[in-house]
């Protein structure tokens, strides 16, 4: 099947960036489409080719992009079988949204909104009310979750409409702020092992005449960050999760559909000076910068007041052959964060936004020591990071 119809690239500096398929084939479009098929008020079918089902389960595998599945048929035979028509289902890629990172993508999945609306526009972003960087994955420093992201989730809308709704994940996630703003609604069921989650997700799916169930697995992403996607550790996790998908698919109750997806893909970054540009040691890139947000492949750059134009010019001059570099207003106009930007979200976006198109990252060895030594990285709009699977199995 053809790739999603990304918007026409918008020229920025020396390159052009493809824009995620918001409104027709992105993560934000999946749950509203499934809920609309169950006649949940306030939802609509943005991916109309998905056939409605009474019982829908979304299994999100953190860090497993479309291209990574295609590249590993031996480690993932069941997932590979779903890339094309199989068992009454179909496989296709959709886009994660920008940036292609966990907090942003989970919020897009759960709310059915693009980043410019739900407001989780990066790994770390500036809080306009305090001027400090806010880590939206770890939720530090604390802000009121429902002020930061005020919209209801699709799970909440479905639960209010009488759909049996459940999230099956690790117990530690039950009370996190990210869960509250992105994935809450109905019942949370915590299970530690992957096998237990698959069994419980299938049982929850059978609980109602109409059901919406979400389940999640994180360790593919974890091994990718630590060891890279070209490692035995990562391949072992891929083999394991391939078995989990099969286990869940074989337990689907009648009138059910399973959708396997992810929050982003990943690429490995070499450990050399050309591939890893250290912001903390680069006087040109750091000049005039008050805060460095985002992550290595998708940076939000917050300039000292009055220095915005100079910072943009320098970042374009230094990085323009390796990154798409845009001002805040250019990135918004290009649609990077979706078709609309809520007023409360505008100041969270960097004065300069830089997204890598080459195999390179901007690290910060002193400010971000843990993130700077990761092997696998993600965040930008390259196919390896942006395209995620939408694999369907029907009972």
pLDDT averages per 10-residue partition of the chain, 395 residues:
38 62 96 98 94 97 97 97 66 96 98 98 98 97 96 98 97 94 96 95 97 98 98 98 98 98 98 97 98 98 98 96 96 95 98 97 97 98 96 95
Contact status, residue 69 vs residue 76, Cβ threshold 8 Å: yes
My answer on whether 336 and 192 are in the same domain is no
In a domain, 218, yes or no: yes
Per-residue DSSP letter, 363: E
pLDDT of residue 8: 41
pLDDT of residue 90: 65
My answer on whether 296 and 214 are in the same domain is no
In a domain, 64, yes or no: yes
pLDDT of residue 9: 42
In a domain, 2, yes or no: no
In a domain, 1, yes or no: no
My answer on whether 327 and 228 are in the same domain is no
Q: Domain limits at 330?
A: 276-376
My answer on whether 72 and 140 are in the same domain is yes
- Tracing tokens 């929050």 back to the chain, one arrives at 263
My answer on whether 348 and 390 are in the same domain is no
In a domain, 344, yes or no: yes
pLDDT of residue 18: 85
My answer on whether 228 and 348 are in the same domain is no
- Tracing tokens 């072992």 back to the chain, one arrives at 236
My answer on whether 169 and 191 are in the same domain is yes
Q: At what angle do helices 194-205 and 232-249 cross, to 10 degrees?
A: 30
My answer on whether 212 and 328 are in the same domain is no
In a domain, 36, yes or no: yes
Between CA 267 and CA 223 the distance in angstroms is 12
Task: Find all residues with CB under 8 Å of 150, minimum gap 6, and list them.
Answer: none
Q: What is the CA radius of gyration of the chain?
A: 20
Between CA 84 and CA 63 the distance in angstroms is 21
CA distances from 350 to 126, 131, 355 (A): 8, 12, 12
CATH number of the domain encompassing residue 303:
3.30.1360
pLDDT of residue 17: 74
Instruction: Reduce the secondary structure of 181-232 to three states and give it as a string.
Output: HHCCCCEEEECCCHHHHHHHHHHHHCCCCCEEEEEEECHHHHHHHHHCCCCH
CA distances from 214 to 141, 163, 187 (A): 28, 13, 10
Helix (H, G, I), strand (E, B) or coil at 257: strand
CATH number of the domain encompassing residue 185:
3.40.720.10
Q: Domain count for the chain, please give it.
A: 2
In a domain, 286, yes or no: yes
Of the candidates 392, 386, 391, 350, the residue with the CA atom closest to the CA atom of residue 108: 386
Please report, to the nearest 10 degrees, the dihedral formed by the alpha carbons of residues 125, 130, 131, 132 taken in order: -60
Between CA 390 and CA 34 the distance in angstroms is 13
- Tracing tokens 């369907």 back to the chain, one arrives at 392
Question: For residue range 344-361, what is the model confidence (pLDDT) as tens digits?
Answer: 999 999 999 999 999 999
My answer on whether 113 and 211 are in the same domain is yes
Contact status, residue 40 vs residue 161, Cβ threshold 8 Å: yes
pLDDT of residue 11: 40
pLDDT of residue 16: 64
In a domain, 27, yes or no: yes
My answer on whether 112 and 217 are in the same domain is yes
My answer on whether 287 and 141 are in the same domain is no
My answer on whether 95 and 241 are in the same domain is yes
């Amino acid at each position: 099947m053809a790739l999603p119809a990304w918007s026409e690239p918008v020229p920025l500096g020396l390159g052009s960036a493809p824009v995620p398929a918001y409104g027709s084939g992105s993560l934000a479009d999946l749950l509203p489409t499934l809920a609309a098929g169950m006649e949940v008020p306030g939802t609509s079918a943005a991916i109309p080719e998905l056939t409605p089902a009474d019982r829908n389960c979304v299994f999100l595998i953190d860090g497993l992009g479309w291209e990574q599945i295609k590249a590993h048929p031996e480690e993932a035979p069941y997932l590979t079988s779903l890339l094309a028509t199989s068992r009454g289902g179909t496989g296709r890629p959709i886009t994660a949204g920008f940036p292609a990172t966990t907090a942003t993508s989970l919020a897009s999945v759960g709310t059915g909104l693009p980043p410019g609306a739900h407001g989780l526009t990066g790994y770390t972003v500036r809080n306009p009310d305090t001027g400090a960087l806010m880590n939206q994955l770890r939720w530090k420093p604390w802000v009121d979750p429902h002020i930061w992201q005020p919209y209801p989730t699709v799970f909440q809308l479905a639960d209010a409409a009488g759909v049996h709704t459940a999230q099956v994940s690790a117990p530690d996630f039950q009370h996190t702020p990210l869960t509250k703003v992105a994935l809450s609604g109905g019942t949370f069921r915590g299970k530690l092992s992957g096998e237990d989650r698959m069994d419980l997700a299938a049982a929850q799916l059978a609980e109602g005449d109409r059901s919406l169930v979400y389940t999640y697995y994180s360790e593919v992403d974890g091994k990718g960050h630590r060891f890279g996607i070209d490692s035995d550790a990562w391949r072992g996790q891929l083999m394991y999760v391939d078995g989990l998908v099969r286990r869940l698919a074989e337990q689907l109750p009648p009138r059910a559909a399973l959708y396997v997806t992810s929050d982003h893909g990943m690429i490995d970054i070499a450990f050399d000076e050309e591939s890893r540009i250290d912001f903390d040691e680069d006087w040109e890139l750091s000049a005039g910068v008050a805060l460095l947000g985002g992550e290595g492949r998708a940076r939000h750059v917050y300039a000292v007041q009055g220095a915005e134009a100079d910072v943009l010019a320098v970042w374009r001059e230094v990085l323009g052959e390796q990154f798409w570099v845009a001002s805040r207003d250019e990135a918004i106009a290009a649609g990077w964060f979706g078709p609309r930007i809520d007023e409360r979200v505008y100041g969270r976006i960097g004065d300069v936004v830089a997204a890598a198109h080459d195999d390179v990252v901007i690290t910060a060895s002193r400010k971000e020591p843990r993130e700077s030594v990761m092997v696998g990285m993600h965040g930008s709009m390259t196919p390896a990071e942006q395209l995620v699977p939408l694999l369907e199995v029907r009972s």
